[in-house]
Amino acid sequence: MILPTHTPDRAQSAAHIAAAAIALVSAIFVSGCASTNRAPVEDRSGAVRPAIPAASAATSPAVENGSVVKPLPGAENAGKPGYYSVKPGDTLIRVGLENGQNWKDLVRWNNLDNPNIIEVGQVLRVVPPGTDPAAVGTRPVTQAKVEVRPLDAKPPTAAAVPAAPTVAAAAPVTAPAAAPAAREGDDDIAWMWPAAGAVAAPFVEGTSKGVAILGKAGDPVFAAADGRVVYAGSGLRAYGNLVILKHNNTYLTAYAHNQTLLVKEDQTVKRGQRIADMGSSDSDRVQLQFELRKMGKPVDPLKLLPAR
């Protein structure tokens, strides 16, 4: 005898399925409410981007390889008048020379802990605090006062400085009148030649920043005008033993390739004072590389020195 197969009631099966579906939906809803994760923010363009903190990215430190990179000192002043962005190979001495300033002033104006350490991209103040950089940069270039004297005249010397030898023994030896002291920011300076030799290489805009004056090792090198020694040493590559004089807020002069330096930093010197002995340091011949800078910019010394 074959027994009939039992078929469950259809209504009962449908009820079981509905109950299971309701339980599943409830579980999903409860789980979603309990979640603490923030949902992504949908862009109207169709792209999906995660939510970001409210802080501006411009004010946050840069992150590189997982490490926070602090901005370089003075970076906020990059490109502003009166500021200089450090380039590869720069030193404070070079920055001072290129901007017509004493490197020690740069240390003070920029609160540098170690003057031997500056970083590429660091921005330095190169004008005194409180100075209008625009006014400084627009000073007109004027012809400075020059004093004509014979080449064979003996320059005035300080009491402790050896007298300069005359070029021609038969010529009368007359000392030129003392030049008036240079006033701050004044272009009225009486210049004199820093050495007696011939000019072997002229000033060339953008190529040669000064003139090369020939001589023999040990020949005297004189201060071209009254001033103060802002650098004396050999820390600037390609200049050898170098002296830099600051004459006022406008002019600097540089005397390079010396054999011996006879002055020290912060020393006050007079026009015609012997400040070095000519040599060939960092040069392939004995010569004086003489540079004259107006507001840090090289200018042709022959336009300011007296005619020979």
pLDDT tens figures, 130-165: 887 766 554 444 444 444 444 444 544 443 433 333
| 8 within 8 A of 15, measured Cβ to Cβ | no
28: CB partners within 8 A, 6+ apart: none
Higher-confidence position of 4 and 201: 201
Whether the predicted pLDDT of 20 surpasses 90: no
DSSP 3-state of 286: coil
What is the SS3 assignment for 253? strand
Distance of CA 42 to the CA centre of its chain: 48
pLDDT, tens digit, 9 for 90 and up, residues 49-98: 333 333 333 334 555 566 666 788 888 988 899 999 999 988 888 999 88
How far are the Cα atoms of 7, 110, 250 from residue 228, in angstroms, in the given order?
116, 22, 13
User: CA–CA distance from 212 to each of 185, 257, 259 (Å)?
Assistant: 27, 10, 15
pLDDT digits (tens, 9 = 90+) for 255-290: 999 999 999 999 999 999 999 999 999 999 999 999
Mean pLDDT value across residues 8-24:
57
Q: Where are the beta strands (DSSP E) in 152-233?
A: 199-201, 211-214, 220-222, 227-233
| String of DSSP letters for 62-106 | EEETTEEEPPPTTGGGTT-TTEEE--TT--HHHHHHHHT--HHHH
Q: How far apart are CA 275 and CA 263, in angstroms?
A: 6
Longest dimension (CA), the chain: 158
Delineate the domains of the chain, giving CATH numbers in brackets. 70-137 (3.10.350.10), 141-173+182-308 (2.70.70.10)
* Confidence label for 6 from pLDDT (cuts 50, 70 and 90): low
Q: Which long-range contacts (CB under 8 A, 24 or more apart) does 232-236 make?
A: 232/261, 232/263, 232/264, 232/265, 233/93, 233/261, 233/265, 234/281, 234/282, 235/91, 235/93, 236/91, 236/93, 236/94, 236/97
Q: What per-residue confidence (pLDDT) applies to 175? A: 35
Evaluate whether 107 touches 92 at the Cβ level (below 8 Å): yes
- Say how far apart CA 84 and CA 123 lie, in whole Å: 5
**What pLDDT, on a 0 to 100 scale, did the predictor assign at position 56?**
32
pTM for the complete prediction?
A: 0.61
Contact between 143 and 303 under an 8 Å Cβ cutoff? The reply is yes
Cα 299 to Cα 250: distance, rounded to the nearest angstrom: 12
Query: Reduced to 3 states, what is the DSSP secondary structure of residue 31?
Result: helix
By percentage, how much of the chain surpasses pLDDT 70?
60
